[in-house]
């Protein structure tokens, strides 16, 4: 069997169109343009690419962007001061601080200062708590985007087993919450899990978020499973050129899975689309 390739880029582009239409409606009815502030500290090349893509998406979605590129030696106090300023700015409905931050800056302190009502990344402990009890709040973008892709191929997860490989605060833990809300029977596997291949083989839905290139092999996958590959890893090809691969050995996995996301073009564009969605939701909430 060859898997259906889940086209995250197309789903994300369709979402951009919907978001743009809703943003225009909000502007027409209330004079409000959704606004997203993005803070990047330092010159990490991968972070710079992510931020550029996020800012490009705001333009496609009719969202106003406020971009702050600060030098690597910026102090914690300066970043905290900027977050406070953005918290108070009525034109800003979402605030994103790109991670990782340079080591002189305490990320928890910065993320904890963002107004939970503007926390477009959903990393503030208040939003983490709201998600865990199933109340409305901001849901982190990568799990939200992954859940949308899963729903496209398998709308009902009742009676299905889901395995999330990875237990990060950004992806693994919120993904578990979303899958539970959808009535899946969820296992969280990680680096200390015994016989990881056997655990993965139980999954009707397998979410790989480990950050290790092509770690999950074809024979770890249950035939017909939905495989969501969150990994974005840059590896060197034999010719010395770089290429992006996921956490799943795609060529093997697509021969076993029922549906699978590619890298690039799967979860990545959905993460960005959900950042736009979170900003739009926040702008709507701001008008009551």
* Of 41 and 165, CB closest to ligand GUN: 41
132 among annotated binding-site residues: no
Angle between helices 45-60 and 267-286 (to 10 degrees): 60
**Contacting range for ligand GUN; rule: CB under 6 A; set: 74-82, 95-103, 180-188, 243-251:** 95-103
- Based on the shown chain and the rule CB under 6 A, indicate whether residue 247 belongs to the binding site for ligand GUN: no
Rounded Cα–Cα distance for residues 183 and 186 (Å): 9
**Contacting range for ligand GUN; rule: CB under 6 A; set: 91-99, 150-158, 189-197, 235-243:** 91-99
Catalytic annotation, pick one of 119, 121, 229, 247: 121
Q: Which residues of 164-189 are buried (b: 16+ CB within 10 A; e: fewer)?
A: bbbbbebbbbbbbbbbeebebebbbb
Shortest spacing between CB 1 and ligand GUN, in angstroms: 33
Query: Among candidates 153, 144, 149, 175, which has minimal Cα distance to 162?
Result: 175
Among 58, 74, 98, 261, binds ligand GUN (CB under 6 A): 98
- Based on the shown chain and the rule CB under 6 A, indicate whether residue 278 belongs to the binding site for ligand GUN: no
- Based on the shown chain and the rule CB under 6 A, indicate whether residue 170 belongs to the binding site for ligand GUN: yes
Catalytic annotation, pick one of 22, 98, 222, 247: 98
| Beta carbons of 167 and 207 less than 8 angstroms apart | no
Q: Which two tokens stand for residue 278?
A: 């979170």
Nearest residue (beta carbon) to ligand GUN: 99
Shortest spacing between CB 81 and ligand GUN, in angstroms: 19
* Of 114 and 259, CB closest to ligand GUN: 114
Q: Is 181 labeled as catalytic in the residue annotation?
A: no
**Contacting range for ligand GUN; rule: CB under 6 A; set: 97-105, 190-198, 252-260, 279-287:** 97-105
Shortest spacing between CB 97 and ligand GUN, in angstroms: 6
- Based on the shown chain and the rule CB under 6 A, indicate whether residue 96 belongs to the binding site for ligand GUN: yes
Query: What are the angstrom distances between the C-alpha of 52 and each of 11, 49, 244?
Result: 20, 5, 17
- Based on the shown chain and the rule CB under 6 A, indicate whether residue 232 belongs to the binding site for ligand GUN: no
- Based on the shown chain and the rule CB under 6 A, indicate whether residue 225 belongs to the binding site for ligand GUN: no
Longest CA span, the chain: 56
166 among annotated binding-site residues: yes
Among 12, 23, 83, 141, binds ligand GUN (CB under 6 A): 141
| Beta carbons of 223 and 255 less than 8 angstroms apart | no
Binding site residue list for NADP(+)? 166-168, 232
Binding site for ligand GUN (CB under 6 A): 96-99, 121, 141-142, 170
Catalytic residues: 54, 98, 121
């Amino acid at each position: 069997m060859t898997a259906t390739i889940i086209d995250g880029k197309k789903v994300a582009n369709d979402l951009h169109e919907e978001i743009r239409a809703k943003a225009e409606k909000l502007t027409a009815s209330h004079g409000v343009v959704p606004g997203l502030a993005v803070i990047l500290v330092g010159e990490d090349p991968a972070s710079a690419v992510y931020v550029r893509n996020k800012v490009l998406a705001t333009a496609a979605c009719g969202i106003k962007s406020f971009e702050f590129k600060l030098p690597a030696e910026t102090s914690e106090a300066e970043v905290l001061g900027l977050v406070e300023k953005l918290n108070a700015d009525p034109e800003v409905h979402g605030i994103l601080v790109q991670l990782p931050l340079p080591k002189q800056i305490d990320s928890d302190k910065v993320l904890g200062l963002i107004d939970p009502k503007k926390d477009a990344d959903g990393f503030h402990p208040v939003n983490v708590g709201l998600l865990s009890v199933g109340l409305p709040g901001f849901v982190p973008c990568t799990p939200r985007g992954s859940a949308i892709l899963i729903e496209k191929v398998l709308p009902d997860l009742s009676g299905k087993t889901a395995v999330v490989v990875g237990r990060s605060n950004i992806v693994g833990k919120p993904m578990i919450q979303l899958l539970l809300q959808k009535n899946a029977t969820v296992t969280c596997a990680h680096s200390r899990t015994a016989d990881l291949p056997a655990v993965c083989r139980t999954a009707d839905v397998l979410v790989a978020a480990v950050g290790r290139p092509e770690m999950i092999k074809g024979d770890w996958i249950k035939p017909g499973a939905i495989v969501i590959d969150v990994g974005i890893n840059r590896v060197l090809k034999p010719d010395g050129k770089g290429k992006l691969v996921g956490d799943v050995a795609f060529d093997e996995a697509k021969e076993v899975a029922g549906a699978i996301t590619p890298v690039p073009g799967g979860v990545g564009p959905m993460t960005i689309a959900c950042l736009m969605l979170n900003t739009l939701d926040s702008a709507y909430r701001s008008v009551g």
